[in-house]
Structure 1
């Protein structure tokens, strides 16, 4: 199937490394297990994005890895640019719009509770709305999409805190916005302790 030439999926990812990812989770389960969880989530993200009918760009946090789980034939690879998350996302969206894409959606690479069909719904909502957002249970968002470039949503936010979603919704309260169902992202032990898929990484916790 030919890719939808006007649809772009941005995937923000951290280069996986011991002690460098899922630090809040690592505080409870240890650096090694946290890295295993994050690696599992990366593979999961590949699984639900690789067949999506859209152009896809993986944005790395530190350096571009040419030979990794992200197939060079399916994903373009770029480096995140900016000194905070907002500037990095703003630059990625700006580059996408400058390249001629009409509908752009960004996700992270740590969402277990996300599927290809969720992304397809998000893109379809941009047919009739200018913005789409997926609220996360922790007060952030797991997905943001737009077909109108808007730098306000990336400014004056306390990234990584529970105020991000509310502040972003204030930016968009007069705009054409579709709000997706709330989902849980993976940041803390409590987010995964009762999910069967994560149990292999938590065996060392059973005696706590």
Structure 2
């Protein structure tokens, strides 16, 4: 599995700086608590994955946190928007000699280790792997070589990202995973039991 690299893009969990769309409904403190919960969850389904794992922080690298230094290599995101930050992470991975690289965020409650194993297995007969998100974006993107178009001319955070991305690779061998939901809005979590303790203060 030395050829496989998992990139995890994460925000430093700081009050008022993460899950802002969720915070607009539940408040900054609860949004931070939920994001911290999601970060912990991301550790649980990635730590035992047989692949190299790089965590990319949004603001600064924290040496002493939930990301075990023996399991995860820690790096800093570089770029003015999400596309540029992902592209630079992929570029660094390919320059380091990895053949199969996948990027995920850190706000996926429904993602499991087996999903990531399945995604890496798709590289046997595909050049790209995409995990479509319910909101029209994607929760996972994988590739065997850097295609910069995937990170350019996208309206990040909108419902056109998946469609535009697939359009860029329409003539390639692309594996589509099951659609899943990431956590951006109150509506994404209000009916999920695991989040109920965080939402006790909410009244419909």
**TM-score, structure 2 as length reference:** 0.99
SS in structure 1 at match of 2:201: helix
State the shift of 1:135 in Å: 0.3
Q: 1:32 maps to which residue?
A: 29
The counterpart of 1:170, out of the listed 167, 170, 183, is 167
Q: 1:149 maps to which residue?
A: 146
Q: 1:92 maps to which residue?
A: 89
Please list every run of 5 or more consecutive structure 2 residues that lacks an aligned counterpart in the other structure: none
- Correspondence 1:112 to 2:73: no
Which portions of structure 1, spanning 4 or more consecutive aligned residues, are displaced by more than 6 angstroms? none
Q: Distance in 1 between matches of 2:74 and 2:139?
A: 21
Q: Distance in 1 between matches of 2:187 and 2:116?
A: 25
State the shift of 1:97 in Å: 0.4
Please list every run of 5 or more consecutive structure 1 residues that lacks an aligned counterpart in the other structure: none
Q: 1:76 maps to which residue?
A: 73
Give per-residue Cα distances to partners, 1:157-182, cap 9 Å, x unaligned.
Answer: 01111110010010010011000010
State the shift of 1:41 in Å: 0.0
Q: 1:180 maps to which residue?
A: 177
Root-mean-square deviation (Å)? 0.6
State the shift of 1:149 in Å: 1.3
Q: Distance in 1 between matches of 2:101 and 2:124?
A: 12
Q: Distance in 1 between matches of 2:136 and 2:81?
A: 18
The counterpart of 2:41, out of the listed 24, 39, 44, is 44
SS in structure 2 at match of 1:126: helix
SS in structure 2 at match of 1:134: strand
Q: Distance in 2 between matches of 1:107 and 1:158?
A: 18
Q: 1:6 maps to which residue?
A: 3
The counterpart of 1:192, out of the listed 179, 189, 193, is 189
The counterpart of 2:133, out of the listed 132, 136, 140, is 136
**How many residue pairs were aligned?**
204
Give per-residue Cα distances to partners, 1:81-121, cap 9 Å, x unaligned.
Answer: 01111111111001100000000000000000100000000
